[in-house]
A and B are shown apart, each in its own frame.
Chain A
């Protein structure tokens, strides 16, 4: 079979839309264009019905009630709403939030903003496998703590945090638990009841749905959670998020959730088998290391460092043929080493030499074969030209030399 190049292996940055999703959306652009808030005519009702149906589809995927789904413009907005909204709403209870250093920028930057507004934020370190220490989490809770914000699955290394244990700790101390579910929802089973989640964000374009639309789940029972709106206006989304609803986007997100739900089990098996094969083959290369916990991990992600080669140089080697990321796509335009990898304790060199593989619904075995071959060849070639690699092979302790230089 002829391979179409470039191969897309960056599904953690964004996913192509599933054609079935687009098909569901199409009628809502031109013909069924109504404003879902128009109460006086059928164009409005048709749009509203479509939104209600999508709300059900979304709720079902995460075991929520449709009334608990707030549509936003994406996970970034949802993260901002969760963090700032809880911070404002529960100001009389306290001003302390606990998060961790490997969160997505959308959480970290919103927390920075909250600190400027007088909030206190604890940034938990992670262990070398990327998971937080539950004892540290519990110790960080004070009587001023209002929220624990720990992501479900990490976008760079794919590790899945012990969500149920975290929520149990949060419950025990009467603290709300928010999780950024952007990378996990639709990929692994997420159930807001069983997992004890109070608030959760996710985004259409990470699950084969459209860009520009996302969700904040806000629990309504046991406990009833409230957030202060960050966008005031017509009172849409039960007052928590105003603005004319992006009807086609929402319809697409609903469909994307339905598809993820129906296909999660088979896709999870297929992707983890393919990922494991890729990983095993690349680990045949000398001095290659998988970053993060391999047991508690999203099925489609692996992050591998190839010591003694530059990730950027490596990317150049196969850039034209394989689209993937050497850091998080949101920051990959910068040459800073990934803060997530550094949080695991990797030095700049090892962080720079890492690649993130994000497999997806449209990834094939042939593409994986091609990738194994291309990456292996590139690494070997770059190392052939690398003086560091030569020294390493001669038995020089390079880490020690580098230290001396710093």
Chain B
């Protein structure tokens, strides 16, 4: 049975071309980049070239790009640095952020290091910009705003430029969790008011275990992981060499075919949304599906019935891979915090399913999934 993988927001398959570029660094080019002899120099060069390439794509300076172990580390580093090194005493976030953000800010608030505010959300899950401005204007202390660019469960997109401008106005530090958009969306960081953003290779057909943190050149932070001079004293630890090389290659590939891929994927999402609406009258779209929404994610809720209760299980039996919440929350099988926040109180009567697409998915696969859903509901 050939499986259908509609869980690309959880992780994507590594592109074979990316693996090809990684292979020399998994075999003969293994030197520690801190070593001065040829084995080390060639790997150091590879890392610096990767950095330049990533910086160019994001329209940033190479000096603003730091390689980390992934999106989670980057978020932890950024938010902690805002408090510890940049004098922020107040955090503004939203209740539908990824847990890497939520659990970090909760910890900082709980340990008394910062005050925490949650910005209001509109009914379809967007940040209420007026409320954001009120919170910023009302804060006596320097604030860090941490709001995700695209929500990994419902796909809602933040107006990152508008939030940046508000942060500029109130001299706030701005971090955006861009894990779902780096590799899926064009960035122009030299013309965006933002201090930190992060990316994870495995979300755009790159390798796992590697990410980036962008740190704007106008701010100075201290390392979060201590113990070595790697990443210009900003992130200690022997570099994940092949991962870094793979990250850059995957980002280059994603950028090269962005127009074509995003149009194709958006077509799939729209088509599937339309078909679901035609066939299942009770279906609800979670988030601003047809508005400001990332083209890779389609999140719907079916009314809870005896049959739909087993939907995730039945889809899996049929070789269809989707997600109920987000894979990033290990173990939790109940309705996610995002869906709960959107349907305050009423989420128990719903069965949310996230379909998330990539360039390899096809209209035929969507049709097959729709057929299966007809059987199952």
| Pair B327/A38 contact, Cβ less than 8 Å | yes
B91 to nearest A CB, angstroms?
Answer: 13
B307-319 vs A: 1/0 string, CB under 8 Å?
Answer: 0000011011001
Given A105-B236, A233-B328, A323-B31; A17-B26 close (CB under 8 Å): yes
- A243 CB within 8 Å of chain B: yes
Given A323-B35, A333-B229; A242-B238 close (CB under 8 Å): no
B1-32 vs A: 1/0 string, CB under 8 Å?
Answer: 00101010011111110010000001110111
| Pair A43/B5 contact, Cβ less than 8 Å | yes
| Pair B324/A30 contact, Cβ less than 8 Å | no
A255 to nearest B CB, angstroms?
Answer: 13
Given A6-B39, A210-B26; A108-B209 close (CB under 8 Å): no
A248 to B16, CA, bound (A): 14
- B175 CB within 8 Å of chain A: no
A336 to nearest B CB, angstroms?
Answer: 11
B131 to nearest A CB, angstroms?
Answer: 25
| Pair A16/B30 contact, Cβ less than 8 Å | yes
A80-109 vs B: 1/0 string, CB under 8 Å?
Answer: 100000000000000000000000111111
Which residues of B from 121 to 171 have beta carbons under 8 Å from A?
Answer: none
| Pair A76/B38 contact, Cβ less than 8 Å | no
When distances are taken between beta carbons in the complex, the residues of chain B under 8 Å from A79 are 227
Q: Which one, A19, A35, A108, A244, contacts B72 given CB within 8 A?
A: A244
Given A22-B26, A42-B321; A35-B327 close (CB under 8 Å): yes
How many of chain B's residues touch chain A, expressed as a range?
35 or more
When distances are taken between beta carbons in the complex, the residues of chain A under 8 Å from B230 are 330
| Pair A76/B237 contact, Cβ less than 8 Å | yes
Question: Total interface residues on A, using CB and 8 Å?
Answer: 76
A249 to B238, CA, bound (A): 14
Q: Which one, A107, A249, A332, contacts B36 given CB within 8 A?
A: A332
A78 to B313, CA, bound (A): 37
Given A244-B11, A246-B209; A40-B321 close (CB under 8 Å): yes
B contacts, CB < 8 Å to A: 3, 5, 7, 10-16, 19, 26-28, 30-32, 34-40, 68-73, 75-76, 98-100, 103-104, 106-107, 200, 202, 207-210, 224-230, 236-243, 312-313, 315-316, 319-324, 326-333
A contacts, CB < 8 Å to B: 6, 8, 10, 13-17, 19, 22, 25, 29-31, 33-44, 72-77, 79-80, 104-110, 112-113, 203, 205, 210-213, 230-236, 242-249, 315, 319-320, 323-325, 329-334
Contact sample, A vs B, 15 pairs, CB 8 Å cutoff? A13-B31, A30-B15, A35-B10, A37-B10, A37-B330, A40-B315, A43-B321, A211-B238, A212-B69, A234-B72, A235-B331, A246-B70, A330-B230, A332-B35, A333-B34
